[in-house]
Structures are given as C-alpha cells and as structure tokens.
Chains A and B, each alone.
Chain A
Amino acid sequence: MQFEERQERGVLVVRPLERRLDAPVTQEFKQYMAGRVEAGHRLIALDLGEVEFVDSSGLGGIISLLKAVGESGNVAIFGAGSQVTTLFRLTRMDRIFPMMAGVEEALALLIPVCR
C-alpha cells in the first residue's frame, strides 16, 4: 500500500494511494498510521480522494487511528467521493469524523485544537 504525505501548518496530510480501503490492506494502513502517530503526529487530515470504496474493516482502521491520536489529537477526513461518504453516513461515523470537502476545511477544523 502506498501513501503520499505532507505537512501543512502542523497537520499531517495523508493520502492513501489505493482504490479500496478494505480487508486486504487495512492491516498495512493501520501499521503505517500507527507509525506516524508514534512519530509524534497527533493532528491528521486523511485525504480519501483516491479511495472509491471503504469496507467495514477499513472504517475500523480509521477508528483505530482516532483512538491512537488520543484526546489531545484529532483526525479529519476530506476529499471523499459520494460512495465513501455514503458509507461513513450509514455507519454514522460522519458524526465522529466530520467529512470536509477540501484540505482547507480539514485544516480549519483541526488547527484550533492545538491552540
């Protein structure tokens, strides 16, 4: 599984380069993200622009990430297509991970937390 990542204003922006975030890749996703959290990143914006489908294990991986960043951190999601947005809504995970349209909205959501 491949990722693109960059830092913007203290937020780690991660873009998984996969069409499906599902069982076969979830473990790898979790390990990679756990590594980033261990490296000290607590504010993470997840760019799901490449992802067309997330199954329940993929969603579980994203929940693990939220748990890993702890109370002092936060995770925002942006760039998700309609299919992925629907999956977040049907699980009601969109109430925990606000679904932002673009990176600026995601950063705006995350940055106040560190002040």
Chain B
Amino acid sequence: MMPKAENRLSAEALAKAKKGPLPSREGENVSKTFARDSAGASLAETMRHYARYSLGSSGEDLSCRELFDATSLAIRERLIDGMIQTEQRHSRAGTKRLYYLSMEFLMGRALGNSLYNLGLLDTCREALASLGADLEEVRSVEPDAALGNGGLGRLAACFLDSLASLGYAGYGYGLLYEFGLFRQDVRNGRQVEKPDHWLSQGSPWLIERAEEACIIPIYGRIEHAVDGNGEYNPMWLDWQVLIGVPSDLPVPGYGGECINYLRLYSARSSQDFDMQIFNEGDYLHAVQQKISSETISKILYPADTLLSGKELRLIQEYFLVACSLRDILRRYRTAHGDTELERFPERVAIQLNDTHPAITVAELMRLFVDEEHLEWDNAWALVQATLGYTNHTLMPEALEKWSVPLFERVLPRHLQIIYEINRRFLELAAQRWPGDLARLARMSVIEECDPKQVRMAHLAIVGSHSVNGVAKLHSDLVTSDLVPDFYELWPEKFNNKTNGVTPRRWLLKANPGLAGLISATIGDRWITNLDELRGLEPCVHDSAFRQAFREVKVGNKRLLAETVWSSNRVRIDPDALFDVQVKRMHEYKRQLLNVLHIISLYLSIVEDGVELPSPRVFLFAGKAAPGYWTAKQVIRLICAAAERINNDPRVRDQIKIAFLPDYRVSLAEKIIPAADLSEQISTAGMEASGTGNMKLSMNGALTIGTMDGATIEIMEEVGEENIYIFGLLTADVLRLRRQGYRPRDYYERSERVRRVMDAIAAGMFSPGEPGLFDWIGHSLLDTPDHYFHLADLDSYAEAQAAATADFAQPELWGRKAILNVARIGKFSSDRTIREYAREIWNLT
C-alpha cells in the first residue's frame, strides 16, 4: 500500500520547487574531473580565454552570440575531455559498439542540454553573471540543429541521449546538411519557406576530423573481366569520386560519465585533395565540379516530398552509408587488426533508421566480398548478424523504391550485388513455397514493373537479423499487413520496440518548474529511471502538491502566452484550456479534424448562444512539405479560422486560435510544458507511434486521441479514465474502406457535420476569396476521404466536450494530469534503448 500523502510536501520543498530549477547535482553524479574545477570563476576565465583567442575579442561588450560561442567553446573542452576518456574506457574494455545510421538527427540546441547533462547549469549561470550576462538570453541565440523533419529524426536524437546516459558505446552517423529543414514563416495565412542556414556563423560544437576523410566512388560501369585464376571478376570502373569529411558532435550522457558522439559527414570535392588542377588553367571547370560534389550534403529533403527519381537523394543515402561503413571498418581494424572479420557481429551492431540507409546491406556486402575478399556466404552471414532495421511507416507512398535504371547508373556494382542477394533469397523462398510465383513476385527485392524498382524495405528485411516496428499496434500491422510473407518466412526476425523520449530534454530541461517539483517530492532518481515517477501517485491526494503542480503549469502557460503574443499578436488567457496540436502538417494527422471541431464550437457559441465550461485556446504548430498542397491549405484554413474567430466579439474570448510559425525543437520545449490537452487524432492505423504524445503526457497534458500508434499504450499506462479516446478503430477503418466509405451518410445523419461543412462551403472563412476552401467539401464529402474525417467528427466532439467539462473542475483535472506524469515511465527512451540493447544489439 502506498502511504497516504495528504499535505506531506514540506513548505520548504514547495518553496524550493516554485523557484524552478532543480536542486544542484554538481559533485554528485558528475565525474570528478568536472566537479573539481567547475567553479563559476574558473569557467568564466575559460570563457574569457576563448572570447579573446578564438573570437578575437577584447572581452569588452561581448554580443550575445559571442558570449554563446565563448560559453560553448568552454563547455566543449569538458565534452572533449570526457569523449576521449570514454573512448579510452571502451577501447580498453573491448566494448561492443552500436552505430545508429540515420538520414536525420533532430538535435535542437546543444548548450542547455550539455549544461544539464554535465551538471554545469548553475556554474555556467554564475560564470555568465560574473560577465554581466544572463544564461537564458545566451542560450536563446543558439540556432537549432534542424537536421531532421520530425519524429524519426527526433527519435534518433533521443536515442543518442539515452545511449550515452546508459553508458553504452552507441554512436550516431548522419549527414551534415548545410541547410537544415526550411524555416517557416506565415504571411497572410500562407506558409513561406526560407532556407535554414544554421551553419552560417559556424557551430562551436562541431569538431571537424579532416584527417579521417574518406573516398567514396560513385557512377561508372562494370567491366566483366576474369581474374588471375580465371574466375569471373566484375570490375567497377570509370567512377567519380566524392570525399566525405566527418565532423563530430559530442553527445554527453546524463551525469557526464559517458560522452559519445554523433558523426556527421559533409561532401567535398576530390579537388580539395590537390589544388594542382587550379594551377593548370582549368579553374572554372574545377570550381564547377567542386560545387556539384558539395551539393550532396547541402540540403535535407523535407518529408512528404516525392523522392522517387530524385538522384540527389539516392546519392545522399549512399554517401551516408558508404562514409559510415568505411569509418566503422577502419575503427574495427584499428581495434582488432585485419584478421578477425569473422567476429565482426560480436563487436559491431548497426541499426538502420528506416529504409533510408538500407543500401548498407549492399555496401557492407561489397566491402566484405570485393575489398576484404570474403566468400559470399561468409560475408552474408556477417551482414545479417550485424544489421537491424527499424520500420517507421505503413504509408505506401513513404516506402522507398528506386528505379533500376537510376540505381544502375549511380551504383552499378551495388545493383549487381542486390541482384545476387535477390537471386539467392528467391531460391530460399521458392524452397519454402515451391511454385508460388505470385508470392515470390510479392517478396522479391526487385519489383517487376516498368521500369523495374528496387524495394528498399525488402532489401533491409532480407539483410537484417531483426526487423522492428515502433509501437505495439504498428509492429502488429507490419507483420499482418505490410510484409506478411516475410513474417511467415522469418517470424523470429520481427519484434516491437515502442518508442520513447528522453526525460532529460523533455522534462528536466524543458520544464524546470515541474522537474524541480518532482525532485523536491520524490528525489531526482527519476531523471535516469523514469519509472520512479510512480512515486508521485500518492500526491494526487496531497492538496499542497496539487496546488504546486497547478502553479507550475500556469507559470508555463504564462510564458507561452508571451511567446504567442510576440509571434502572433494574439492575447491568450493562461487560465484557459490550452489545447495543442504540434507536429508535421499531414492529412493523416488530421489537423483538419481539429479545425472542423473548432468551427463547430464557434457556431454553437455564435448561433446557439452556448457558453463553454472553460475558455479554450487552440494552438497549432508544424511545417508542411513545400510541395504538399493540401497540408499548406490546412495552414491557410487554421489562420483564416483564427482571423475570424479571434476577432468575433460574439465569441467573447471563449476561443482563441494561433498557428505558431516555425515549429522546431526549441519551440516545442516552450509549448509542451504549457499544454493542457494533447491532440493525437490521426486516422487509426496510420501513425506508427508518435512521440509528441509521450512528451506532452510527461509534462502533464491529458491526451485526446484515437486508438493509434503509441497512444494506445499511453492509455494502457495512464488509465482509460485519464485520457479521452474516440473514433474509429483500425479494424473499423479497414472494414469501412472495404465496404466503401460514404461520407455523405455522415453529413445527412449528423447536424454537426452538416453545419460545419455548410459553413465552410458558404465561404464563412474566406470572405475575400470565395471558393478558397471548396476543396474541403470535395475531399471530405464528395470523395471517399482516405482519412475518414467526417466519420470521426461526432465522436471527437463528444470527447472534446468531456475534456472541457473535466477541465472546468480544476481538482479533478489536476489529479488526472498528475497521474499522467506519474505513469509515463514506460515512455522514457532509456527503456526503449535497453530493449534494443538487450534484444537486438546484444550490448553490455
């Protein structure tokens, strides 16, 4: 039995908690090296040194950016020391290493994270104060490292934090995009994309390793020759060369004991190797070649861009894989010599984050067979034992395929290897299912259409010993719907690893008020063992705790209200229910469903005189892919609804809407701690996992959501009574799709649906541009909408009504919110990484 905890929080603890920051950890978990010399004065001295000798400043009147650079360089010293010590420790112990290959790492800002994880936050604040500067101001000038689109990239970043915090030798490998995901501006309700030149002023965190640059061949042709023994010897000739130059971003684990790195490659021209060509009068040609080579790591492709046929994207994926594998093999040889390749999988695990790095299967085979002279069967056994593949999507349009002619032109030797892998694989499948040609065609790595396509998911499945989905429902759908033939063939390969998020960034750093309150109440072990939050459960009976919890939330809402005022010029009431939907703009995520509900609320206020139980603030943020017309139109609708509803006096401020521009990690860190209600309303069966749902619940927001992705597991953890579930189930969606979905039936049956759709059709939200939103009627009503908006609207509105009614009872809402925090332990990425480490990577 848990002890009754009424009023057990001491006044002292509460006072401490209200102050915000955590009780200092310095000298506790932090390594002794850091603890000994971490006084503010010493750090300030180091900053002055860097200001003078790295930035060339006299130290007088340093700008915020100069202070940021000097601070970061001073902190970087500690990171580098720790990184070297960590490497020495792993080398001595012969630790198995995990390499996480991903085209995206959405790291966000590094300074605050480093300070928290090294335990130097207070020291740094003191040091900056002695220089007349404010830490928060200095932190705010750091550009986000936006090397990712959304969930997949942020997951990779959370995983790196957990790998280091748990002390694993786990490293990220990615691309150093010169331009991260575009910056989003909203002008007259329209999304405008601007380049994100995040490296324009350099980055103090990146350590370039020019001496470890590698040569990557590309293009060319195969000459079918024979070797000295008369054996067939396909020679890859006439290739061109790219140079991959790595830069390391240190990744500190919590407590500073283990500091890993994220290795990011940028492409350089081979001309960098020798300037002689410039002296031979062909300067312009040389420069042109240089520019085209360097284009490779120039930009991150936005999600939802049609990638098929994008040669540059294929080259990017290959470039990442080829640079990474060459580096991994080089490190392996340094540690173990040339002779022990047969033990490769005992010492190295490689995880493919989605199919983007799936060329790894062919490139590792090429390295083993062509360069290391291993027999095919031996090489194949090593490849399979080394690789694991994580599937992130069931959406057919997101499953990568490359046309064979393109592939052959860019990577002729790899295509040859893929054909051989496929030939052997189909032989195996044919033994299992003799004569079942239809099944073999379904399973083949090569899709026989015109032109033929390389199916990257099939290549990844065939070449890996583990295939995992990212939430229970998603993993089930992978085996039952996406690739059932492969599951039948190799059931032992398939498993689930429900995603998680790092509590260091998403609670400790993003929400210092709540983190402080939690630590003052149950101690700070939750930071590295999130299950400890269960200790908060008895606090639902503690009125002082509930009061403190509420005050933290209102404080966060007040801060967010300032941000909303400054970016949108919309005043919002911190006592209102803050309802947030922050994620990529996509039809399946159904921001449109949210707007339809807001319109229905609006109409009930202005036409029926309804009074809401609590005023409501609806906040949206998210980027639409530049070529995704519908997603951009939804932004227009949100802005148009905001324009009308925010300014309609009949609403009497009961509803406020804001679309916050340029959603990114640092903005998420402001929005999430202030949220009351978390919108997770995707069409059932379409969201693989979601991680925003976890971050929001971790910060005391209640979820309104469908039975989709990890939201189902959140419901299982927090309890059905502490979440608002609505809508069709995955099975309902499949059944409706099979039977034929007829949205007009819902229109005729439901007054709400009719009213909302009629208001939009009548031009209520586009007075100056008649017909602007006619597409909504066409997509949702006149065609069998793939995302089932109207089928779910009534159920969604009922769940919304229940949430609003509960919010009007602050004590009830507070209890539910506290229980969400207390029961969210499962969704720490530490748990996820432990599962990967134990069940896939075999790390110790």
CB-CB under 8 A from A55, the residues of chain B are 240-241, 270
B233 contacts A96, CB within 8 Å?
A: yes
B236 interface residue, CB < 8 Å from A?
A: yes
Interface of A: prevailing SS: helix
Given A90-B236, A90-B370, A90-B371, A96:B215 Cβ within 8 A: no
CB-CB under 8 A from B220, the residues of chain A are 56
Interface flags for A9-21 (1: CB within 8 Å of B; 0: not) read 0000000000110
B647 interface residue, CB < 8 Å from A?
A: no
For window 235-281 of B, CB contacts with A under 8 Å fall at: 235-241, 270, 273-274, 276-277, 280
Q: Give Cα A95 to B372, complex, Å.
A: 11
For window 363-400 of B, CB contacts with A under 8 Å fall at: 366, 370-371
A56 contacts B238, CB within 8 Å?
A: yes
B555 interface residue, CB < 8 Å from A?
A: no
A98 contacts B276, CB within 8 Å?
A: no
Closest CB of chain B to A25's CB: distance in Å?
A: 9
B236 contacts A92, CB within 8 Å?
A: yes
A60 CB contact (under 8 Å) in B233, B238, B241, B366: B238
B12 interface residue, CB < 8 Å from A?
A: no
B370 contacts A92, CB within 8 Å?
A: yes
B370 contacts A56, CB within 8 Å?
A: no
Please tell me the number of chain B residues within 8 Å of chain A, measured between CB atoms. Answer: 25
A92 contacts B277, CB within 8 Å?
A: no
Q: Give Cα A8 to B763, complex, Å.
A: 92
Q: Give Cα A47 to B95, complex, Å.
A: 40
Please tell me the number of chain A residues within 8 Å of chain B, measured between CB atoms. Answer: 22
B233 contacts A24, CB within 8 Å?
A: no
B217 interface residue, CB < 8 Å from A?
A: yes
Interface of B: prevailing SS: mixed
Q: Give Cα A56 to B240, complex, Å.
A: 7
B235 contacts A91, CB within 8 Å?
A: yes
A93 interface residue, CB < 8 Å from B?
A: yes
A20 CB contact (under 8 Å) in B228, B238, B276: B276
Q: Give Cα A105 to B467, complex, Å.
A: 48
Centre residue among A24, A56, A57, A89 by max chain B CB count within 10 A: A56
CB-CB under 8 A from A92, the residues of chain B are 227, 233-236, 370
A56 CB contact (under 8 Å) in B239, B277, B280: B239
CB-CB under 8 A from A52, the residues of chain B are 273
Closest CB of chain B to A72's CB: distance in Å?
A: 15
Closest CB of chain B to A52's CB: distance in Å?
A: 8
A86 interface residue, CB < 8 Å from B?
A: yes
Q: Give Cα A109 to B227, complex, Å.
A: 15
B215 contacts A86, CB within 8 Å?
A: yes
B225 interface residue, CB < 8 Å from A?
A: yes
A103 interface residue, CB < 8 Å from B?
A: no
CB-CB under 8 A from A90, the residues of chain B are 217, 236, 366, 370-371
Closest CB of chain B to A10's CB: distance in Å?
A: 21
For window 75-109 of A, CB contacts with B under 8 Å fall at: 83, 86-87, 89-93, 95-96, 98
B236 CB contact (under 8 Å) in A83, A91, A96: A91
Given A20-B274, A87-B215, A90-B217, A96:B238 Cβ within 8 A: no
Interface flags for B350-367 (1: CB within 8 Å of A; 0: not) read 000000000000000010
A59 interface residue, CB < 8 Å from B?
A: yes
Instruction: Using CB atoms, name the residue of chain B closest to A83.
Output: B215
CB-CB under 8 A from B234, the residues of chain A are 92
Closest CB of chain B to A18's CB: distance in Å?
A: 9
Q: Give Cα A87 to B277, complex, Å.
A: 21
Instruction: Using CB atoms, name the residue of chain A closest to B366.
Output: A90
B228 contacts A98, CB within 8 Å?
A: yes
Instruction: Using CB atoms, name the residue of chain A closest to B274.
Output: A20
A24 contacts B236, CB within 8 Å?
A: no
Given A56-B240, A86-B371, A87-B215, A93:B274 Cβ within 8 A: no
Q: Give Cα A55 to B220, complex, Å.
A: 11
CB-CB under 8 A from A59, the residues of chain B are 237
Task: Given A56-B237, A60-B237, output 4 extra A-B contacts at Cβ < 8 Å.
Answer: A56-B239, A63-B237, A91-B237, A93-B235
Query: What are 24 residue pairs bridging A and B, where the CB atoms are less than 8 Å apart in the complex?
Result: A19-B276, A20-B274, A24-B276, A53-B270, A53-B273, A53-B274, A55-B270, A56-B217, A56-B220, A56-B238, A60-B237, A60-B238, A83-B215, A86-B215, A86-B371, A90-B217, A90-B370, A90-B371, A92-B234, A92-B235, A92-B370, A93-B235, A96-B228, A96-B235
The 10 closest A-B pairs by CB, nearest first: A95-B227, A89-B371, A56-B238, A91-B236, A56-B239, A95-B233, A92-B235, A92-B370, A91-B235, A20-B274
